[in-house]
Amino acid sequence: MSSDSSATAADGGEQAVSAAGTSAGPSPAYDKQKEKARVSRTSLILWHAHQNDAAAVRKLLEEDPSLVHARDYDKRTPLHVASLHGWTDVVNCLLEFGADVNAQDRWKNTPLADAEGARKQKMIELLKSHGGLSYGQNGSHFEPKPVQPPIPKKCDWEIEPAELDFSNAAMIGKGSFGEIVKAYWRGTPVAVKRILPSLSDDRLVIQDFRHEVDLLVKLRHPNIVQFLGAVTERKPLMLITEYLRGGDLHQYLKEKGGLTPATAVNFALDIARGMTYLHNEPNVIIHRDLKPRNVLLVNSSADHLKVGDFGLSKLIKVQNSHDVYKMTGETGSYRYMAPEVFKHRKYDKKVDVFSFAMILYE
């Protein structure tokens, strides 16, 4: 639903209630319509802030100034989004409409903290000139030793199946254990991994599913696909993550062929940042299935990459960065698999480095 049609729907609902002249208050249908319009506008302003569309952001704010305080599922405001990418025109517009320069997201990060983490110097200076303070993680997801975000309580991420809208679902991928589809959650496009109904009672499948949920809930990084929630108390079991419009790196390389040196370097840096975050002590995460199909493009412009699909990942608490982990399972794809894994020998996080090198070679 567009912002204009959302406004028309909301106005029409108000006129209908007024004409009825009842003291019973708005009907449930009206409340639902109004909430849908609000969610649509929230998604729009966050999207336009991400796309550096200052004109569209201004238009939305002129229609509804309260949108300057809109928040996404991680309590990030449009100012957080624009600051992270260094979009000064959008930030100036938001500040003009009274955006809280020190708003904190779910992990207590301010817009300035995000700008510092992304090393956006002009943005840092702009936010500081408006009283911006740096606290929270202080952009530590870009640092060698990031502070782990607090693990949300189960109630924070358990999603009611009724909140997921599959009316216009689109298939993203399918495997032997389940399928991944594009759906909508509270008006936001999301990727939903659904376990096949025939496997919903399989003990090993359920164990692997819960392992992936337990792993993802601990992660938050700009180059890691963001976990949003899961359905664990109903069937089918479902895992919900952000939806990335650009598809995967495998398909991109297939369509585009060779990359320019600048693009190749940027892609490599994005993957390296995400993997460095996963490999940080004391909670080392070995991906074990790093390959182009599991590296996703944020949008069709291929501005950034994110590492995803942690179904085969392993969380290890280590005492020493040179520890060798006693895991001899053969996992992942042969083409990107390190020799020690292929030969069923002991291995450590260096197997991900090998896979990373194979991606660079390709």
Q: Do 227 and 102 share a domain, yes or no?
A: no
**Same domain for 165 and 236?**
yes
Check whether residue 109 and residue 232 sit in a common domain: no
- Residue 63 belongs to some domain of the structure: yes
- Residue 140 pLDDT > 80: no
- 319 versus 220: the higher-pLDDT residue is 220
User: pLDDT over 70 for what percent of the chain?
Assistant: 77
Instruction: Look up the CATH number of the domain holding residue 9.
Output: 1.25.40.20
* From 64, 72, 270, 289, the catalytic residue: 289
Residues 14 and 138 in one domain: yes
The answer to whether residue 147 sits within a structural domain is no
Same domain flag for 173 and 107: no
CB 295 within 8 A of CB 306: yes
Is 148 among the domain residues? no
Average pLDDT, the chain: 78
pLDDT of residue 49: 92
Query: 133 pLDDT exceeds 80?
Result: yes
- Residue 353 sits in the same domain as residue 286: yes
**146-151: Cβ within 8 A, 24+ apart:** 146/221, 146/277, 146/280, 148/218, 148/283, 149/106, 149/107, 149/218, 149/220, 150/107, 151/217, 151/218
DSSP for 250-317, written as a single string: HHHHHHH-SPPHHHHHHHHHHHHHHHHHHT-SSEEEE-S--SGGGEEESSTT---EEE---TT-EEEE
Nearest C-alpha neighbor of 244 from the set 287, 191, 310, 170: 191
> What is the rounded average pLDDT of the residues 142-161?
58
Residue 121 counted as domain residue: yes
Contact 306, 296 (CB under 8 A): yes
Residue 218 assigned ligand-binding role: no
Residues 227 and 331 in one domain: no
CATH of the domain at 179: 3.30.200.20
Pair (73, 54) in one structural domain? yes
Residue that finishes a domain, picked among 142, 162, 182: 142
**Residues 293, 295: Cα–Cα separation, whole Å:** 6
Catalytic, 309? Answer: no
pLDDT at 233: 85
Q: What is the CATH number of the domain that holds 344?
A: 1.10.510.10
Please indicate, yes or no, whether residues 237 and 331 belong to a single structural domain of this protein.
no
The answer on pLDDT for 63 being more than 90 is yes
Kindly state whether residue 205 falls inside one of the protein's structural domains. Answer: yes
Q: How confident is the model at residue 273 (pLDDT cuts 50, 70, 90)?
A: very high
Flag the least confident range among 10-14, 124-128, 211-215: 10-14
- 242, 264, 295 - which closes a domain: 242
Position 282 confidence tier, pLDDT thresholds 50, 70, 90: low
The mean pLDDT of 99-107, rounded to a whole number, is 90
Does 51 lie in the same domain as 11? yes
Let me know whether 11 and 118 are in one domain: yes
For the chain, what is the domain count? Answer: 3
Instruction: List Cα–Cα distances, 235 to 149, 168, 194, 309, in angstroms.
Output: 29, 20, 9, 21
What residues make up the domain containing 315?
A: 249-361
Choose one of 142, 174, 204: the last residue of a domain.
142
Per residue, the 3-state secondary structure of 326-342, as one string, reads CCCCCCCCHHHCCHHHH
Q: Are residues 165 and 258 in the same domain?
A: no
* 149 in any annotated domain: no
Q: What is the pLDDT of residue 351?
A: 86
Q: Is residue 98 part of a domain?
A: yes
Domain contains 87: yes
Quick one: tokens of 205?
């499948």
- What average pLDDT does this structure show over 113-140? 82
Q: Percentage of the chain with pLDDT > 90?
A: 31
